[in-house]
Chains A and B, each alone.
Chain A
Amino acid sequence: MKSIGRLWNSLANPDRIPRLFALILGIVLIAGLFIPLALDNQQLYPRPAPQEQINAQDPLAPYDRGGTPFVERGIVKAQYPQYAPAIGEITAYLSPIAISVKNTTLYYGTSIYSSPGGLIDEILYYTRGFDTVLESSILMMAFVIASWIALNFTMRRDDD
């Protein structure tokens, strides 16, 4: 009994908890290597075969979903199509700047400026739009906390 008490006491030190957590996580991850891979073929968000669009010299690779804005729908799948009636209609929209960039380089689809006003990703902004809202709020809260701590040094350790 005494040794169990000593074990609990050693766990009561906050420094040891991250190590214990990392150890458990490492054991589970290593054990996970022996789990047989069973992937489902009917994925909700399908992707083209790797390098297929790049080998076809498509400047929008790997995000080319086809279609013409408001005329012909692009290939975008949704879990609940009844809640997304306009799906695929604007997925091919490109702003004038985006079109000029697309005409000059083959790597437009993989560059950072392809998202805002360029390739509108309907999975990000339409079918799964709430995720994008949450992701930005996580980022915002991180900045709020970091800037608050930077502005009012929570504790000046030299004075303590």
Chain B
Amino acid sequence: MDITILGSQIIGIIPLGDIVFYFTQFNLFMFATALAFTAIIAISKTETQVEAEFGKLGDRAVTVAKKEFKIRRFLAIICGLATAGAMITGDLFDFTLFVCLTGIVNIGIVGAVRQVDVLDAAYQYGLIAMMASLPLFGGAALILAATGTISLLAINTLAYTTPMMILGSILLFIGVAGETGVAPFFATKAEMFRTPGSPFLLIIHLSSLLILVRLIEILLIINKPF
């Protein structure tokens, strides 16, 4: 392995036909973080809020029904696995599919909360995620048309950058921002992070953060500004 991507050596690859997963120190760390957080989520219990009752001295515990808790945990685990996959994939179209999976699972996590404000925010988020699939896949398609390949390892060896690749990169950025980037905004607006059953919702924050970092790496590979 004598290929270098952005200055870091490739430690190993997992070839699945044309789709090659590759490991560098950088994305291996993010992959391990996503998997570790997913494991913590899989074994953690839901948060219970204690509210003071008005006019009395008693406290009231607000818990989440097990049914609701189970679907949210399931979706959070899928979200974590999709994020981990997006960290190591060496194929642009595969990356967009992982982002799309994260986005749709995020809608599910936000939509499975029994509060009207949260559901209103989830509806708006769903609208954005639907709009964002156009620039997401369109950007990947433009990069395929401009370079002739969607393997990041092959794009890394190209010596040129055309205006169409830059347009594709901008569209890709808008698409990823719409699919996962705005999810924490809606979750925070709906004040979901302090509601009962909240720890699973933190995967929304973690996935959007990791995917944006990885997207910036991919954009640097495609556009080679240095």
Residues of chain A having any CB pair with chain B under 8 Å: 12, 14-15, 17-18, 21-22, 24-25, 28-29, 32, 35-44, 78-80, 83-84, 126-131, 134-135, 137-138, 141-142, 144-145, 148-149, 152, 154-155, 157, 160
Q: Report the separation of the CA atoms of residues A85 and B134 in the bound assembly, to the nearest whole angstrom.
A: 35
Residues on the A chain within 8 Å of B78, using CB: 141
Q: B17 to A129, Cβ gap below 8 A? A: yes
- Taking a contact as CB atoms closer than 8 A, the residue among B93, B108, B119, B135 that contacts A28 in the complex is B135
B73 to chain A, nearest CB (A): 13
- Which residues of chain A are near B114, meaning CB under 8 Å? 154-155
Report B137-151 CB contacts with A as 1/0, cut-off 8 Å: 000000011111111
Contact of B18 among A15, A36, A78, A157 (CB under 8 A): A78
Give which listed residue, B68, B94, B105, B154, contacts A134 with CB less than 8 A. Answer: B94
Chain B interfacial positions (CB closer than 8 Å to A): 15-20, 67-68, 71, 74-75, 78, 91, 93-94, 97-98, 100-101, 104-105, 107-108, 111-116, 119-121, 124-125, 127-128, 131-132, 134-135, 144-151, 154, 162-164, 166-167, 170-171, 174, 178, 182, 185-186, 189-190
Asked if residues B147 and A40 are in contact (CB atoms below 8 Å), the reply is yes
- A14 & B104 in contact (Cβ 8 Å cutoff): no
Interface centre among B17, B104, B125, B170 (most CB of A within 10 A): B17
**Contact residue among B98, B105, B108, B148 (Cβ-Cβ distance under 8 Å from A44):** B148
Given contacts A17-B185, A18-B127, A37-B164, 16 further A-B contacts (CB under 8 A): A14-B186, A18-B128, A21-B132, A21-B182, A25-B178, A39-B164, A40-B147, A44-B149, A80-B20, A130-B94, A134-B97, A138-B100, A138-B101, A145-B112, A154-B114, A155-B119
Q: B116 is contacted by which of A43, A148, A160 (Cβ under 8 Å)?
A: A160
B18 touches A138 (CB 8 A): no
Question: What separation, in Å, do the CA atoms of A79 and B149 have in the docked complex?
Answer: 8
Alpha-carbon gap, A131 to B89, bound state (A)? 11
- Report the Cα distance A155→B131, complex, angstroms: 25
* A149-B112 CB under 8 A given contacts A135-B97, A154-B119: yes
Task: Determine if A38 and B162 form an interchain contact, defined as CB atoms under 8 angstroms apart.
Answer: yes
Pick the residue among B75, B107, B131 that contacts A22 (CB under 8 A). B131
Interface of B is mostly: helix
Report whether B164 and A138 are in contact in the complex, using a CB–CB cutoff of 8 Å: no
The 5 closest A-B pairs by CB, nearest first: A40-B148, A145-B108, A83-B15, A127-B17, A134-B97
Contacts of B150 in A (CB 8 A): 44
Instruction: Report the Cα distance A22→B15, complex, angstroms.
Output: 38
**When chains A and B are docked, how far (Å) is the Cα of A36 from the Cα of B162?**
9
Q: Which residue of B lies closest to A134 (CB)?
A: B97
Q: How far is the CA of A129 from the CA of B146 in the complex (A)?
A: 23
A138 to B120, CA, bound (A): 23
**Quick one: given A14-B186, A148-B71, are A79 and B164 in contact (CB under 8 Å)?**
no
User: Which of A14, A44, A135 sits near B189, CB closer than 8 Å?
Assistant: A14
Q: How far is the CA of A127 from the CA of B149 in the complex (A)?
A: 14
A14-B121, A134-B98, A154-B113 given; A35·B18 CB < 8 A: no
